[in-house]
Amino acid sequence: MFQAVCFDFDYTLGDCTDSIVAGFVHGLTGLGWPAPDRETVRGTIGYMLEDSYAMLTGDRDPARQAKFRALFTEVARERQIHETILFPGAPELLRGLRELGVKTAIVSTKRGDTIELILENHGLRDAVELVIGSADVKRPKPDPEGLLFVLERLGVNPEDALFCGDTVLDAGAAQNAGTHFAAVLNGTTGAEAFAPFQPDHISPDLWDLARWLGV
Q: CB of 109 within 8 A of CB of 115?
A: no
Low-confidence ranges of the chain (pLDDT < 70): none
Angle between helices 49-57 and 17-30 (to 10 degrees): 60
Please report the pLDDT score of residue 181 as a whole number. 98
Please name every residue paired with 103 in a beta bridge, in sequence order, or none if there are none: 4
Single-letter residue type at 115: I
CATH class entry, domain 4-15+85-213: alpha beta
Strands 14-15 and 85-86: antiparallel
The three-class DSSP label of residue 95 is helix
Return the closest-CA partner of residue 46 out of 79, 7, 75, 85. 7
Q: pLDDT tens digits, residue range 55-80?
A: 999 999 999 999 999 999 999 999 99
Q: CB of 19 within 8 A of CB of 80?
A: yes
The total of other beta-carbon atoms located within 10 Å of residue 142's CB is 18
Please report the pLDDT score of residue 46 as a whole number. 84
- In the chain, where the domains are located: 4-15+85-213, 17-82
- Fold of the CATH domain 17-82: DNA polymerase; domain 1 (1.10.150)
Return the closest-CA partner of residue 141 out of 197, 80, 67. 197
Give kind and range of the element (H or E) at residue 33. Answer: none
Interatomic CA distance for residues 125 and 78, integer angstroms: 17
Q: CB of 178 within 8 A of CB of 208?
A: no
4-15+85-213 and 17-82 in the same fold: no
Q: CB of 98 within 8 A of CB of 127?
A: yes
The total of other beta-carbon atoms located within 10 Å of residue 118's CB is 25
Maximal CA-CA distance, the chain:
51
CA 76 distance to own-chain centroid: 16
Please report the pLDDT score of residue 189 as a whole number. 95
Alpha helices in 84-213 (DSSP H): 90-99, 112-121, 145-154, 168-177, 206-213
